[in-house]
Amino acid sequence: MEQAGLVSRSRQDVRGRLQQAALELYRERGYDRTTTAEIAAGAGVTERTFFRHFADKREILFDEDPALRPALTTAIAEAPNALGPMQVLRLAFASLEQMLTDNRPFTEPRLAIIAGTPALLERAEAKTAGLTALLADALRQRGVQEELATLAARAGMAAFSHAGKSWREDPSQGLGVHLERAFRTLHGLSAS
Amino acid sequence: MEQAGLVSRSRQDVRGRLQQAALELYRERGYDRTTTAEIAAGAGVTERTFFRHFADKREILFDEDPALRPALTTAIAEAPNALGPMQVLRLAFASLEQMLTDNRPFTEPRLAIIAGTPALLERAEAKTAGLTALLADALRQRGVQEELATLAARAGMAAFSHAGKSWREDPSQGLGVHLERAFRTLHGLSAS
DNA sequence: AGGGTGAGTGTCAGTCACTGACAATTGCTT
DNA sequence: AAGCAATTGTCAGTGACTGACACTCACCCT
């Protein structure tokens, strides 16, 4: 039956359909003029179901790769002992190249929407802060003192943002190259 | 008349009374279990008036000194030409010492509440991001290239946070001393 | 003194994000 | 076929936030 077909298909990948519907609606009408009920309807489910899959209306645009945090943590933990905190971070960032490349078609369309919506920018900052805290924690477990780890994590994240942007503008070079340049630039800045 | 006295007093400093009421209620019941109607009642006004003074329930804890942004902007604009971006930022931060000291009794009680509330931490990150953007903009107007200005502003803000924390823990030394140490530490980190 | 003016506030009605409780459905197991 | 666990639907409710409009009061002008 068509009915049965629809129902069974509508049961699959509800989460993904919600994300897709949200993305389209946010693009058409903008974030503010889109209601969670409309997103749910677009995915063929109830508003209540929306909130079973995502904590709030913003979170649906920030579904990070579940492998991201483990990857960073282990990369930092397994870095050579001789390296200083910033080198450790640089290596950890470089190890993300494949993952970031794979996820690019997923993350890219979201960036434009986020950039134009204050409420989403705020969430983006919070996400970055959460990752920065993760970096600091991983450094601490290597023996780096707490405050120093926080400082290194924040500075390292700044360098990563810088490298990420130039990487997007010039993908011909690998992320590692851009990272090396970014960290060198940061060093040069704090030199004088 | 008492009536007239009450009325006239209730008309004064509504904004301040709202902040005071919010602070007390957030402390007693916590942010989540406090409604904007309760805050308004505590200040002797209507809920509607709350939202005429503050954009939302979070913003009432983040009322920054109106002189902060102008101070940073002019300090950066008027810094000696010979200085590099990071030195410029260090000077600008140091120039805030008096203002930060004066506002301390106002800002300190808020920090504990913010630190224990995710929604408020998110807003705090957004505020920091806004100030960072201001720094980057001021650097750009000195001729620093856009991306470099952003990198410097983020790294500088990281150093400022570091210095601010150690300053709070050891106020016997001036902020300038802590800033000098923080920026030197940052340079040392990115060295190896 | 009387009338006007504008800023700040009160009142009311409404939208929408988000939550708890419970019933219904589905897919899978035994 | 019966049962179990996970997912969803349904319903009712709270609370943040907004728009529209009326009102009050300090201040100004003539």
pLDDT at A1 over 80: no
In the numeric block, which tokens belong to residue A154? 């924040």
Mean pLDDT confidence for A102-127: 97
Quote the pLDDT of residue B9. 52
pLDDT at B2 over 70: no
Nearest to B129 by CA among A7, A89, A115, A174: A115
For B97, residues 6+ apart whose C-beta sits below 8 A from its C-beta are B174, B175, B176
Shortest CA–C1' contact from B8: which nucleotide? D25
Could you give the dihedral angle defined by the CA atoms of residues A76, A78, A84 and A89, in that order, rounded to the nearest 10 degrees?
-30
Nearest-angstrom CA–CA distance, A42 and A38: 6
pLDDT at A7 over 70: no
Q: Is the pTM of this model over 0.85?
A: yes
In the numeric block, which tokens belong to residue A74? 């282990």
**With an 8 Å Cβ cutoff, are B158 and A154 in contact?**
yes
Give residue A70's identity as a one-letter amino acid code. P
Q: Pick the residue from chain A with its C-alpha nearest to B191.
A: A187
Q: Is the CB of A35 under 7 A from strand D?
A: no
Distance of CA A164 to the CA centre of its chain: 12
Q: Band of the pLDDT at B23, cuts 50, 70, 90?
A: very high
Closest approach of A108 to chain B, Cα-based (Å): 20
Q: Separation of CA B19 and C1' C6 in angstroms?
A: 26
CB A173 within 8 A of CB A182: no
Shortest CA–C1' contact from B35: which nucleotide? D15
Nearest-angstrom CA–CA distance, A79 and A76: 5
- Stated as kind and residue range, the H or E segment containing B9 is helix B2-11
pLDDT at B185 over 60: yes
Cβ neighbours of A136 (radius 10 Å): 23
Mean pLDDT confidence for B31-49: 98
